[in-house]
């Protein structure tokens, strides 16, 4: 077992884990009160992996995570009140209230998000590391992702380039044993995830993600290899989320006893006990860390509640899509009032209309049916694509695959 660090560091580790735990419990509560909208993924139980990793990083290093990252941002130094305001969709949130729980982002702390696409943060991590290398900077990028993400195409592509270009990056799989409701045994052919990048020349190691000291030890070496030798590594931290995948998860895929078994290894309790037994921290300090967490989170909720919602006329700010010159990615610039079908009160009528149209369509006799691409699908005023092509004088090269032949065929 790795040695405990000095008393001040132990206190800081304990206080940070307790703060994240408290924050997430409160986030769950606020979500149930409908104060926080969108999705909410809690990492309660995973605090040692998060805090252990972040605590070994320098301020110039980058951290990038997934959609379960309230704690990652806080561990990196983002103020909890700004994370809470983001969950509440308020202007003082880390993303101005535009991102919500899955898109916490804080460039000042070099916390690069916050991504809803499973595995989507891996290539971005490689890109950040490439930028550091290109600029001759000393920074390391740490990329944290789930066991499920290790099955994505992004994983292989990123490992290949990271190894090939010798990028200063450390990959960490937060193996909480499940990707939503699917266990590692059912989703990954190779269940030793630390081996999954070996074929690319990236060595891996398994660590106890419930033990903050063990995490620090593993991460220290991974960061050293990345910084000093430009050698990426893949750490697999074994951890566990006590709560469901997201706020709506009936958890039919695991047993209550399994959750309880992992709760016995609780990262905060375990570490507090160890610090007390080694006489590094006293009961008073442990209590103090917890009370401080309570106060910080209480203040975070007050701050979030007091923060205004973004003004309606700022709705289209921060969008990269452009309408001039007009393109495929046009922004809906209609008036802010609800439009047909957007108002909930209209929904029953709109739903009935759609259902009736669907039934009429399904009730047609067997045989060729109108092709919506050619005849428009309820988009009045939209010219069929073929006639547009004709106007441009584009005669179809192969009349058998589109153009007139297709129209004739469709019209029977
Ligand atoms: C590309 C993609 N596929 C599917 C989803 C839906 N989805 C959201 S979370 C998730 C599970 C991912 O599990 P894991 O990587 O183990 O992370 P964990 O949620 O356990 O932290 C899935 C499949 C998604 N967001 N993105
Ligand atoms: Mg997982």
**Which residue is it, tokens 């759609």?**
354
Nearest protein CA to atom 2 of ligand 1, as residue? 118
Atom of ligand 1 nearest to the CA of 152: 1
> What Å distances lie between residue 243 and 28, 178, 262, CA to CA?
10, 12, 12
- 149 CB under 6 A from ligand 1? yes
Ligand 1 centroid distance, CA of 258 (Å) = 21
Residue nearest to atom 18 of ligand 1 (CA): 146
Rounded to 5 degrees, φ, ψ at 292 are: -65, -40
Which atom in ligand 1 lies closest to the alpha carbon of residue 41?
A: 19
11 Cβ neighbours under 8 A, 6+ residues apart: 281, 285, 289
Is 397 strand, coil or helix?
Answer: coil
Q: How far is CA 63 from the centre of its chain?
A: 13
The response to whether residue 186 sits with its C-beta less than 6 Å from ligand 1 reads no
Please tell me the residue having the least CA distance from ligand 1 atom 12: 179
Given a contact cutoff of 8 angstroms between Cβ atoms, the answer to whether 132 and 141 are in contact is yes
Q: Is 60 helix (H, G, I), strand (E, B) or coil?
A: coil
Contact 165, 214 (CB under 8 A): no
How far does residue 178's CA lie from ligand 1's centre (Å)? 9
Q: Give the ligand 1 atom nearest the CA of 68.
A: 21
Angle, vertex CA 396, rays to CA 395 and CA 401, nearest 5: 165
Q: Return the pLDDT at 35.
A: 94
Pick the closest to residue 114 from 80, 64, 40, 71 (CA basis): 64
Measure the CA–CA gap between 111 and 107, rounded to whole angstroms.
6
Bond from prior residue into 114 cis (ω within 30 degrees of 0): yes
Nearest to 270, CA basis, from 28, 18, 73: 18
For 216, list phi and psi in degrees, rounded to 5. -60, -40
Q: Please indicate whether residue 154, judged by its CB atom, sits closer than 6 Å to ligand 1.
A: no
What does the pLDDT read at residue 332? 52
Mean pLDDT by 10 residues, the chain (412 residues): 93 98 98 93 98 98 98 98 98 96 97 96 98 97 98 98 98 98 97 98 98 98 98 98 93 96 98 98 97 98 97 80 50 58 65 74 64 47 39 38 33 29
Would you state the pLDDT for residue 2? 81
Peptide bond into 325 cis (omega under 30): yes
Is residue 52 within 6 Å of ligand 1 at its C-beta?
A: no
Sign of CA pseudo-dihedral 68, 71, 76, 77: positive
Place of tokens 């499940």: 178
Question: Quick check: CB of 147 below 6 Å from ligand 1?
Answer: yes
Tokens encoding 369: 């049916």
Dist. CA 236–CA 339, nearest whole Å:
49
**373 φ/ψ angles, rounded to the nearest 5 degrees:** -65, -30
Q: What residues pair up with 233 in beta bridges, in sequence order?
A: 170
CA-closest residue to ligand 1 atom 4: 118
Number of residues that this document lists for the chain: 412
Nearest-ligand number for the alpha carbon of 119? 1
Q: Is the CB of 55 under 6 A from ligand 1?
A: no
244 touches 40 (CB < 8 A): no
Q: For residue 206, give the 3-state DSSP assignment.
A: strand
- Could you tell me if the CB of 151 is within 6 A of ligand 1? no
CB-ligand 1 contact for 146 (6 Å cutoff): yes
Non-local (6+) Cβ contacts of 362 within 8 A are none
Residue 176 CB–ligand 1 contact under 6 Å: yes
What is the C-alpha R_g of the chain? 26
> Is the CB of residue 118 below 6 angstroms from any atom belonging to ligand 1?
yes
Task: Point out the ligand nearest to the CA of residue 43.
Answer: 1
Per the confidence metrics, is the pTM higher than 0.85?
no
The C-alpha torsion from 101 through 106 and 112 to 116, rounded to 10°, is 10
Closest ligand, as measured to the CA of 244: 1
Are β-strands 169-175 and 141-146 bridged in parallel, bridged antiparallel, or unpaired?
parallel
| Ligand 1 lined by 46 (C-beta under 6 Å) | no
Enumerate helices (H) and strands (E) in the chain, giving the number of each.
15, 7
- For tokens 């939503």, the residue is 180
Q: By the 8 A CB rule, do 51 and 10 touch? A: no
Contacts of residue 108, defined as CB under 8 A and 6 or more positions apart, other chains included, come to: none
pLDDT of residue 347: 66
* Alpha helices for 202-266 (secondary structure H): 212-229, 256-263
Whether 245 lines ligand 1, by a CB cut-off of 6 Å, is: yes
Query: What is the SS3 assignment for 307?
Result: coil
Q: How far is the CA of 104 from the centre of ligand 2 (A)?
A: 19
């Amino acid at each position: 077992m790795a040695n405990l660090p000095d008393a001040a560091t132990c206190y800081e580790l304990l206080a940070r884990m307790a703060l994240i735990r408290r924050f997430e419990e409160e986030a769950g509560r606020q979500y149930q009160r409908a104060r926080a909208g969108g999705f909410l993924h809690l990492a309660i139980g995973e605090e040692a992996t998060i805090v252990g990793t972040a605590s070994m990083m320098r301020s110039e290093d980058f951290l990038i995570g997934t959609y379960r990252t309230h704690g990652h941002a806080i561990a990196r130094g983002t103020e909890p009140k700004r994370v809470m305001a983001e969950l509440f969709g308020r202007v003082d949130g880390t993303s101005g209230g535009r991102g919500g729980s899955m898109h916490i982002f804080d460039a000042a702390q070099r916390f690069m998000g916050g991504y809803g696409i499973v595995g989507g943060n891996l290539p971005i991590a490689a890109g950040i590391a490439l930028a550091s290398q290109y600029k001759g900077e000393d920074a390391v990028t740490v990329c944290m992702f789930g066991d499920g993400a290790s099955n994505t195409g992004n994983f292989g592509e990123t490992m290949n380039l990271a190894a090939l270009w010798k990028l200063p990056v450390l990959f960490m799989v937060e193996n909480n044993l499940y990707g939503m409701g699917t266990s590692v045994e059912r989703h990954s052919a190779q269940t030793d995830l630390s081996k999954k990048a070996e074929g690319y020349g990236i060595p891996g190691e398994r660590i106890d993600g419930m033990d903050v000291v063990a995490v620090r030890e593993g991460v220290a070496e991974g960061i050293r290899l990345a910084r000093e030798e430009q050698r990426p590594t893949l750490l697999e931290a074994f951890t566990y989320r006590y709560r469901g995948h997201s706020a709506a998860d009936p958890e039919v895929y695991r047993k209550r006893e399994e959750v309880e078994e992992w709760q016995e290894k609780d990262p905060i309790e375990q570490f507090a006990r160890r610090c007390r037994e080694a006489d590094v921290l006293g009961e008073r300090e442990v209590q103090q860390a917890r009370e401080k967490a309570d106060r910080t989170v209480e203040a975070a909720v007050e701050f979030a509640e007091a923060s205004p919602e973004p003004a309606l006329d700022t709705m289209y700010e921060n969008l990269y899509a452009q309408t001039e010159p007009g393109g495929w990615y046009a922004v809906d610039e209609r008036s802010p009032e609800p439009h047909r079908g957007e108002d909930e009160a209209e929904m029953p009528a709109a739903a009935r209309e759609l259902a009736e149209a669907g039934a009429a369509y399904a009730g047609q006799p067997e045989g060729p049916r109108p092709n919506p691409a050619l005849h428009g699908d309820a988009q009045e005023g939209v010219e069929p694509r073929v006639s547009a092509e004709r106007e441009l004088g584009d005669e179809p090269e192969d009349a058998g695959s589109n153009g007139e032949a297709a129209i004739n065929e469709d019209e029977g």
